[in-house]
Amino acid sequence: MSEKNTEESMIVRIRESLEESTAQLDPGVRSRLDRMRHEAVTQRRAIRQRRMIWRYAAGALATAAMAGWIFWGPSMRTTQDHTLAAMDDMDLLASDEPLEIYEEIEFYSWLSDLDHEFQNS
């Protein structure tokens, strides 16, 4: 016999044994047990329902946040980056400095910072 069949037959025997023992109980005790079982099942359903409401709310919030990020996040940053890059290019072309100076812009920036440090000390 397979393990699943053994388990199922054990469950059947346990259920039959419990039903026999409850049949021998006083009707008042059986009634109280039935009410308690019904209350437990009702409470469990209520708890499960509250959890599902929170899960749906969290899912909706996550979906809205993701949609907002997808539609407005990258497009706004990309537009700003392109605008700034275009302005930088225009500034470079419109300046009186030779274009070769921009090849070594980091050096000139460092030199300018160094000059400001010496003037302030």
What are the mean pLDDT values of the chain's consecutive 10-residue runs (121 residues total)? 81 89 83 89 90 90 87 61 60 71 76 80 65
Q: What is the reported pLDDT for 84? A: 52
Q: What is the reported pLDDT for 14? A: 92
Q: Which of 10, 32, 12, 31 is nearest to 20 (CA)?
A: 12
Q: Sketch the domain layout of the chain as residue ranges.
A: 3-120
Q: What is the DSSP string of 25-47?
A: S-HHHHHHHHHHHHHHHHHHHHH
Residue entry with tokens 């392109």: 82
Q: What is the reported pLDDT for 12? A: 92
Are 74 and 64 in contact by the 8 Å Cβ rule? The answer is: no
Q: What is the reported pLDDT for 98? A: 72
Distance CA 69, CA 43 (A): 39
In one-letter notation, the amino acid at residue 96 is D
Q: What is the reported pLDDT for 89? A: 66
Q: What is the reported pLDDT for 87? A: 59
